Structure 1
């Protein structure tokens, strides 16, 4: 039996592929390009827009790792419905869904909440990985270039806003552990605890880079204009909207009771460890 990994050539899926192949598991990489090459994996072209493609990819799988791609909310709702159709038809042994930080509370609505609720209703063994914010966001050029050139870490959160940061590498570690522990179900929070503030984040960058780094809060609009050339105007506007909504929150901290640390014994990387793993 194989493990089916969505986004296998992207930032979220590729570390899961690497972790599974390193453990000697059979991996099927789901991509939009059937000519893609993924080391150690069989490649299958399957589109989120095709429940038929997804059903075929999931059939007989030991596990499926899935996340919703950057797209309009309308498209994500369609993709979530198609994933659920395929899960119900193919009935893989296990599904692990990473929210990518999107809300899954039904009160908020949205595609991630639809997918999480649908998995619960499907009767298929599953778990939901719930990170808060990704450390990889800090590798966006407008952030990391500023850190290197000016000693300033700009980000669209308040200086007193604590975040349980997590990396894609941490999510991959948790995904593999969840495949190995089907008894762990429901939501698993992934991220540092205690959460850290912007100045503490900048301090960790400074310690790794051997220079003083200070934190600079920026507005969601400034963030939007910085990332639009990279991800497109529509997705950038959605991201800015999410950060605007976040500005009224006290922070983005995981819940220790549902953490990967407690449920799986998997501890996420510190900022310093993450930067060292990336060779930054």
Structure 2
């Protein structure tokens, strides 16, 4: 059995490769870099603009894990269209797609998969805890005891981690009766104050939460991922903060559909070895 993983050298695809490797299956790690080397996998550089390359990569596979890079909407739609065309041609036995935090009801891949005739599931996370490890976020926590993030202090959100995405992906490859959208994240949802308390417990120091504007967050993010991608992130936060909250639907949760309990913020920090005993 061969499983294909998009973005296998990245923060989201990497844990999926690690989880699949524990099952002893064959893994094809897709990257956009020709010099990439992924442990426990056959590494294959694929151009998302090439339907032919994507089709060849998917053909004969047991499962495919897909997520899209953070790019502008037009490019995202182009990539989604190419991937769907290739999936329909190659007909893998199972497709698991992560929206990467973008709303599932407006996601081009999610809609296309529903009409593809393929066995599929869509993982819909809200926010990644790994965002709180960004250098500028960590600098504030460690040097000033201030966790700054572009969400209001009492805005309740269902945070989850890339490790939780990997757990859900593995379960969805195995539980093919589960289809449609599966929402992944903490439930009940947590606030900025809750996040700060978890970091305080892990780091052994006082930590308070402080609202950061999406624009300021994007400025600090741009050196890491480029101005265009940072602008996409900024726009996403500006839209989300207009909502009353960003909590998952318990009826479509991984807790209910897969029997998985996403990590608490403190448990995630402990699992990463960031807890000071």
Matches within 5 A, 1:174-189: 174-189=168-183
Q: Please report how far the alpha carbon of residue 34 of structure 1 lies from its aligned counterpart in structure 2 after TM superposition.
A: 3.6
Matches within 5 A, 1:93-112: 93-106=93-106
Aligned partners of 1:104, 1:264: CA distance in 2, in Å? 18
Aligned counterpart in structure 2 of residue 208 of structure 1, from 196, 202, 205: 202
Q: Please report how far the alpha carbon of residue 20 of structure 1 lies from its aligned counterpart in structure 2 after TM superposition.
A: 0.4
Structure 1 residue 4 corresponds to structure 2 residue 4: yes
Aligned partners of 1:142, 1:260: CA distance in 2, in Å? 31
Aligned counterpart in structure 2 of residue 275 of structure 1, from 269, 272, 276: 269
Q: 2:71, 2:232 within 8 Å by CA — same for their partners in 1? A: no
Matches within 5 A, 1:6-155: 6-106=6-106, 113-155=107-149
TM, length-normalised to structure 2? 0.97
Partner residue in 1 for 2:211: 217
Q: Please report how far the alpha carbon of residue 37 of structure 1 lies from its aligned counterpart in structure 2 after TM superposition.
A: 1.4
RMSD: 0.9
Deviations 1:161-192 (A, max 9, x none): 01110000000000000000111000000000
Aligned partners of 1:14, 1:69: CA distance in 2, in Å? 14
Aligned partners of 1:132, 1:153: CA distance in 2, in Å? 19
TM, length-normalised to structure 1? 0.96
Unpaired runs of at least 5, structure 1: 107-112
Aligned partners of 1:182, 1:120: CA distance in 2, in Å? 14
Unpaired runs of at least 5, structure 2: none
Aligned partners of 1:260, 1:238: CA distance in 2, in Å? 27
Q: How many residues align?
A: 274
Deviations 1:233-276 (A, max 9, x none): 11111111111111211111011111111111111111111111
Structure 1 residue 170 corresponds to structure 2 residue 164: yes
Partner residue in 2 for 1:110: none
Q: Which runs of 4+ in 1 moved over 6 A?
A: none
Relative to structure 1, is the Cα distance of residues 220 and 35 closer, same or farther in structure 2, using a 3 angstrom cutoff? closer
Aligned partners of 2:191, 2:124: CA distance in 1, in Å? 19
Q: Please report how far the alpha carbon of residue 8 of structure 1 lies from its aligned counterpart in structure 2 after TM superposition.
A: 0.5
SS of 1:203's equivalent in the other structure is: helix
Q: Please report how far the alpha carbon of residue 95 of structure 1 lies from its aligned counterpart in structure 2 after TM superposition.
A: 0.3
SS of 2:115's equivalent in the other structure is: helix
Aligned partners of 1:221, 1:7: CA distance in 2, in Å? 27
Deviations 1:127-153 (A, max 9, x none): 000000000110111111110110000
Greater shift after overlay, 164-173 or 224-233? 224-233
